[in-house]
Amino acid sequence: MAYSVEKEDIINIIKAGIFAPSGDNCQPWEIYFDGGKLYLKNIESKDTSLYNVKNIASYIAFGAMIENMIITARSLGYEISTTLFPEGENSSLVATLSFIKGQPVFDPLLNFIDKRCVNRKKYKPMQLETHARESLKTTAAQFKGAELFLIEDEEEKKKLAELLSVNDRILFENKNLHDFLFEHLRWTKKEAEKSRDGMSIESLELGLVQRKVFRLLSSWTFVRFLNMVGFSKFVPAQSYKLCKGSSALCLLLMEGTGFDSFVYGGRAFQRIWLTAASLGLSLHPMTGITFLIQRLRMGEDKGLSNSHRELLIDIYQRLKDIFPIENKAIIMSFRIGYADPPSDNSLRLPVQRVLIEGYP
């Protein structure tokens, strides 16, 4: 039986949910509240990137949102019962959340919901502490079917870094991916405050010269010209260095390949990220290439050139030599380690721009 929820409590639960990560911080959601239940609706027009094949990137983001909401609701004395895709997987309604009154249960990760962030800085040359490694593994194991792989061996990191960094080449050779990125960049503090979505240019951790060059790269015409002299082939070098220099490169897999696996995997990933934040670890998703591979696996290769299809097939085969990814949902690949705080964090839409009274 669902119970009514105090308005102040529901506002706090939604605030926590909104802190979830999403592709380029596009925040593809509307949240409805009818007095007893929350309804989480996917706004497909918010994420039209090729990475978001059949909305799986958005579903991972919704999973992260749900995990934040569960942690916060429990601290306020509510248990949440979640129903995924109540109107079917073709509906934009991703989940309904019902509230059952209980006793407050404090989760230490509650304090890190608004502190968890992407850190794109160079990480310090440090190995993961044993306690940190074990905590991350234990956190993943809380979710049935989830498996977290941490690659720490230097040679193995180099191999995986090479594969993950190819994403940056494809990004600057594919107009959809290029345009989506630059549409979500905010070049000034004023612009970021006004939109409260996307990513600030400061958060990319570019040097002064790099930032000026990056502004020029917002022109697809200019990028196509540069690619004629091989520009895109050199772009992955920076990501390769960042990946290779991390404490670990990680891959999170989830049993099953249905859409619910991606939502559930998003919950697991968010809890892993919150755990990392609580341990003083920095985290940077490096998952573009795995989303593109997921696109091929789903038979949705429209929008990719023949050369990119061949490149992705080769990377997929090489990833299968490292990870047991057959018949599993690839949730997220990321680098993790120790770093100075990021130069800036992404902003979030206020509750009043997301919350709608009633039923969707």
Q: What's the whole-model pTM score?
A: 0.97
How far is 227 from 245, CA to CA, in rounded Å?
27
Q: Model confidence over 319-346: pLDDT tens digits?
A: 999 999 989 999 999 999 999 999 999 9
Residue 91 lies in a domain: yes
Looking at the structure, do residues 158 and 295 belong to the same domain, yes or no?
yes
Q: Model confidence over 141-160: pLDDT tens digits?
A: 999 999 999 999 999 999 99
Looking at the structure, do residues 161 and 288 belong to the same domain, yes or no?
yes
How far is 267 from 263, CA to CA, in rounded Å?
7
Q: How far is CA 202 from CA 53, 151, 236, in A?
A: 28, 29, 20
How far is 18 from 169, CA to CA, in rounded Å?
31
Residue 293, amino acid: I
Can you tell me which residue has the tokens 């690839």?
330
Can you tell me which residue has the tokens 């249905």?
258
Q: How far is CA 352 from CA 9, 13, 30, 84, 186, in A?
A: 15, 13, 10, 24, 22
Per-residue pLDDT band for 6 (boundaries 50, 70, 90) equals confident
Q: How far is CA 322 from CA 5, 286, 316, in A?
A: 47, 17, 10
218 φψ region: left (φ > 0), alpha (ψ -120 to 50), beta (else): alpha
How far is 240 from 243, CA to CA, in rounded Å?
5
User: If you average pLDDT over every residue of the chain, what do you get?
Assistant: 96
Domain that holds residue 268: 130-172+235-337
Can you tell me which residue has the tokens 């619910």?
260
Tokens standing for 106? 């404090």
Residue 186 lies in a domain: no
How much is the average pLDDT of 41-52?
Answer: 98
Looking at the structure, do residues 166 and 307 belong to the same domain, yes or no?
yes
How far is 198 from 25, CA to CA, in rounded Å?
5
Tell me, what's the pLDDT at 4? 75
Residue 239 lies in a domain: yes
Tell me, what's the pLDDT at 1? 43
Looking at the structure, do residues 54 and 102 belong to the same domain, yes or no?
yes
Looking at the structure, do residues 320 and 249 belong to the same domain, yes or no?
yes
Residue 60 lies in a domain: yes
Q: Model confidence over 167-199: pLDDT tens digits?
A: 999 999 999 999 999 999 999 999 999 999 999
On the question of pLDDT at 2 being above 70, the answer is: no
Per-residue pLDDT band for 81 (boundaries 50, 70, 90) equals very high
* Strand pairing class (355-357; 29-33): parallel
Residue 20 lies in a domain: yes
Looking at the structure, do residues 15 and 106 belong to the same domain, yes or no?
yes
How much is the average pLDDT of 19-43?
Answer: 97
Per-residue pLDDT band for 5 (boundaries 50, 70, 90) equals confident
Tell me which residue of 286, 234, 324 sits closest to 51, measured CA to CA.
286
CATH label of the domain that carries residue 109: 3.40.109.10
Per-residue pLDDT band for 3 (boundaries 50, 70, 90) equals low
Looking at the structure, do residues 162 and 275 belong to the same domain, yes or no?
yes
Residue 78 near residue 99, CB atoms below 8 Å? yes
Per-residue pLDDT band for 214 (boundaries 50, 70, 90) equals very high
Residue 78 lies in a domain: yes
Q: How many domains does the chain have?
A: 2
Residue 220 lies in a domain: no
Looking at the structure, do residues 105 and 243 belong to the same domain, yes or no?
no
* Strand pairing class (282-285; 355-357): unpaired
Looking at the structure, do residues 256 and 289 belong to the same domain, yes or no?
yes
**Exposure on the CB side of residue 248, measured as CA atoms within 13 A:** 22
On the question of pLDDT at 100 being above 50, the answer is: yes
Looking at the structure, do residues 262 and 315 belong to the same domain, yes or no?
yes
Looking at the structure, do residues 331 and 351 belong to the same domain, yes or no?
no
For the chain, give the number of residues. Answer: 360
What values do phi and psi take at 279, rounded to 5? -95, 0
- Residues ≥6 apart with Cβ < 8 Å to 139: 148, 268, 271, 272, 275
Looking at the structure, do residues 164 and 307 belong to the same domain, yes or no?
yes
Percent of the chain, pLDDT > 90? 96
Residue 264, amino acid: Y
Residue 120 lies in a domain: no
